[in-house]
């Protein structure tokens, strides 16, 4: 059993578009989206222990354990594999909560991937992805570790290779709840379905953007400012907005002009998860 404590990456993602195709009888929504990772990440310090306790400390850890995705992921893996081991986990939070860039889902995926190796429980990526679906629809893409075109409720993944652009990412000072967006009566729910080959020939969008912009003027203001420099869009159902740039220089030039009311970062789109790259370098994947 590996016993060292290491800071493992939990990378963010962008939804390069998000189309809502309909609402199912069980209340979930049919959707199509294109996931790409970016080189911004939370960090999880994970150390295996010889008892079954799951101990979590660090930033934003005041959520009840039964609701915390990190704790739930660790306990789910324990239950599934019947391991007698536990873990001490420290969260170093870098990604905004409610931003739509997948912080909680990515934290859960990193927990599953890393503990599966540290505990030597030896589940396959496919088995871990199926576990991840029980925690959230976005978790499997972080487990699989490749940019993907997603369908269904987000669980049907096809590897994709979008351009690895530079992005300027803005975070308005608001927290948007996913449930609020998907339950809103004015949410567009009838966008036609397309296949992956058609995406380069159509005008994509984020169907949640209008609702969020109307409800949260800070998001509308961020989009209004950013669109002056490049095509701007909201990611997921959260508050973060982004725009692609041809190169890092152009993105950083726009960053220098950004209003101080928005937290802003330049980041790079990557199609291979930074966590998977890290685990491969450590010999854990």
Judge whether residue 69 has pLDDT over 80.
yes
What pLDDT is attached to residue 4? 56
Q: Output DSSP code: residue 236.
A: T
Q: The whole model's pTM is what?
A: 0.94
Closest CA to 260 of 171, 167, 166, 168: 171
Average pLDDT of span 240-247: 96
Confidence class of residue 232 from pLDDT cuts 50, 70 and 90? very high
Confidence class of residue 5 from pLDDT cuts 50, 70 and 90? low
Q: How many CB atoms neighbour CB 1 within 10 A?
A: 10
Distance CA 219, CA 30 (A): 25
Q: pLDDT tens digits for 161-171?
A: 999 999 999 99
What pLDDT is attached to residue 200? 79
The residue annotated as part of the active site, out of 39, 42, 59, 138, is 138
Distance CA 35, CA 148 (A): 5
Average pLDDT of span 173-181: 91
Identify whether 193 is a catalytic site residue. no
Average pLDDT of span 196-214: 91
Identify whether 138 is a catalytic site residue. yes
Q: pLDDT tens digits for 246-265?
A: 999 999 999 999 999 999 99
Domains and CATH numbers, the chain: 6-160+271-281 (3.30.230.10), 166-270 (3.30.70.890)
What pLDDT is attached to residue 53? 96
Distances in Å between the Cα of 16 and the Cα atoms of 35, 113, 242, 276 are 6, 25, 9, 21
The residue annotated as part of the active site, out of 13, 42, 107, 265, is 13
């Amino acid at each position: 059993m590996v016993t060292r404590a290491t800071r493992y990456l939990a990378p963010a993602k962008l939804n390069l578009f998000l189309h809502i195709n309909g609402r199912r009888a069980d209340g979930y929504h049919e959707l199509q989206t294109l996931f790409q990772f970016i080189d911004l990440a939370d960090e999880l310090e994970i150390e295996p222990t010889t008892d079954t306790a799951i101990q979590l400390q660090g930033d934003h850890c005041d959520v009840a354990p039964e609701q915390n995705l990190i704790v739930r992921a660790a306990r789910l893996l324990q239950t599934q594999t019947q391991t007698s081991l536990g873990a001490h986990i420290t969260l170093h939070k870098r990604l905004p909560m409610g931003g739509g860039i997948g912080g909680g889902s990515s934290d859960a995926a990193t927990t599953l991937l890393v503990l599966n190796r540290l505990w030597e429980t030896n589940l396959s990526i496919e088995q871990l992805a199926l576990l991840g679906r029980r925690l959230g629809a976005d978790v499997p893409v972080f487990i699989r570790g490749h940019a993907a075109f997603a369908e269904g409720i987000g669980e049907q993944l096809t590897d994709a290779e979008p351009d690895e652009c530079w992005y300027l990412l803005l975070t308005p000072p608001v927290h948007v709840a996913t449930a609020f967006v998907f339950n809103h009566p004015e949410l567009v729910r009838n966008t036609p379905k397309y296949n992956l080959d058609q995406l380069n020939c159509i005008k994509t969008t984020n169907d949640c953007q209008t609702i969020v912009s109307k409800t949260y003027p800070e998001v509308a203001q961020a989009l209004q400012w950013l669109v002056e420099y490049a095509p701007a869009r909201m990611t997921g159902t959260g508050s973060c907005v982004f725009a692609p740039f041809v190169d890092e220089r152009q993105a950083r030039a726009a960053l220098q002009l950004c209003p101080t009311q928005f937290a802003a970062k330049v980041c790079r789109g990557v199609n291979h998860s930074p966590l998977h790259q890290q685990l491969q370098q450590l010999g854990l994947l």
